[in-house]
Structures are given as structure tokens and as C-alpha cells.
Amino acid sequence: SQQGEEDPQALSIQEGENATMNCSYKTSINNLQWYRQNSGRGLVHLILIRSNEREKHSGRLRVTLDTSKKSSSLLITASRAADTASYFCATDANLGVGQNFVFGPGTRLSVLP
Amino acid sequence: GAVVSQHPSWVICKSGTSVKIECRSLDFQATTMFWYRQFPKQSLMLMATSNEGSKATYEQGVEKDKFLINHASLTLSTLTVTSAHPEDSSFYICSPLRVYNEQFFGPGTRLTVL
């Protein structure tokens, strides 16, 4: 099964509202990353949070990490129509042969004008 | 950040033909390359892991004879989809590993098999 599981799978909000997406994972991690993917396009790296960090900010993005609950959240404040995309969390699955990030199924965010 | 390129960015081919996808890390060397596949509205699924100069390790359910991976140099890896069929239509994304814990992603190649 997937290491990362995003919740909700789909989210629709009005422009200007905040959007919160959650990610849960199963095993211990070294770091967790959030990515955005516009329809039919490649991945865009948003933010990396390490296991010893609890919160990070980048512009309108705020990511939290709770290792005791094995969960992370991505908050987008003052959303814009351009934020419409799929958002994935990816956790390092430290397989011992380099590293590999395991992606969750993603949250499809729709920001309505 | 690191620059990763894929070529082609999209390709349409007839069923039964083979398609080669190139992935280059333009400003760093990658000893390890991951290849992912993404079907519409789904997440990325790891297909295989390759180390430069070695045979690739394939994930369960991925046919090694169908998806040929060559990682001949530290800056170039190729994925060849042999005898492609419509069910192989997908978005293929390479991901080179720069150093331990720094993984980057290519822009992806959209394959459509008619």
C-alpha cells in the first residue's frame, strides 16, 4: 500500500479561502516533501520538512509535521485560481539503495474564482 | 535547484512500436535513477531503480523485458518501452538522485499509444 495517503482526495474552495490538505504515512521517515502537479504537467517541488522539524513556511504555504501521529498538513492561505492542481506528499522510503520517495494518491484542489 | 530534462516531452506512437525516453541531469551527476509512471488522476508509482553501470531493479508487476532501462552514464538514463500497447499510455517521470537524500524530478514524458 502507499506510504503516503493524502486527505481529502478532492477539495473545492472559493478563491481567497484557505485550503488544508493532510498526509499520513506508515513508517518512520527522514523527511517529507510536498509537490504540486498541474494537469498533464510535471511535478513542482513546494517544500521539504525534515523529521526534526515541526513547521515550515514558504510564502502562502505552511507545512506541519507530527511524527508521533505520522502525519503532515499543507495549508495554502488566500488561495488563488492558479493554485488549482493536484498536491502530493512524498516520504523517503529509505531502502538502503540510495533513497526513493513514495508518493501518496494526491489531493485534487479546485479553486473557484 | 538541480536541472533535469526529459526528451521527448510527449510522444504518440502506433501499437507495437518501441519508444525511447531520455532523462538527463544537466548540472549534477546521478548515480541512482528512479523511473516513475503516472496514470491519469493517479499518483506516481515507482517502476524501477537503476544504478549507473548496473542492471535496474524493477518493482513487482513491472516487466523488465518491456521497460528497458539503460543508465550508462552519470548524467543520462533511458527508458525504452518496447512493443508499446495502448495500456502503456501514461506519463513517465525520471528522478535522478544527486546525493543521499536529494532526489529531483524530470518534467515527464507523456506517451500515447494508438
B51 to A102: CB separation less than 8 angstroms, yes or no:
no
Question: DSSP letter string over B41-71?
Answer: TS-EEEEEEEETTS--EEPTT--TTTEEEEE
- Whether residues A45 and B100 touch (CB distance < 8 A) is answered with no
Q: Are the beta carbons of A43 and B108 separated by less than 8 Å? A: yes
- Residue A89 exposure: Cα atoms within 13 Å on the Cβ side: 31
Cβ within 8 Å of residue B55, ≥6 positions away: none
Cβ contacts of B111 on chain A, cutoff 8 Å: none
d(CA A23, CA A65): 9
What is the C-alpha separation between B31 and A10, in angstroms, rounded?
37
Peptide bond into A113 cis (omega under 30): no
Candidate from B41, B43, B49 with C-beta closest to A104: B43
Distance, in angstroms, between A72 CA and closest chain B CA? 18
- Strand segments, DSSP code E, in B1-114 are 4-7, 10-13, 19-25, 32-38, 44-51, 57-58, 67-73, 76-81, 90-97, 109-113
The minimal CB distance from A40 to the residues B45, B95, B110 is found for B110
Residues of B in contact with A43 (CB under 8 A): 44, 93, 105, 108
CA distance A55 to A62: 7
Q: How confident is the model at residue A3 (pLDDT cuts 50, 70, 90)?
A: low
Mean per-residue pLDDT, B1-21: 91
Bond before B8 cis per omega within 30 degrees:
yes
In this prediction, residue A1 carries a pLDDT of: 32
Q: Is the CB of residue B25 less than 8 Å from the CB of residue B98?
A: yes
**Average of per-residue pLDDT across B29-41:** 87
CA angle A108, B47, A96 (to 5 degrees): 105
pLDDT tens profile B55-102: 899 998 999 999 999 988 889 999 999 999 999 999 999 998 876 557
Residue A108 to residue B91, Cβ atoms within 8 A: no
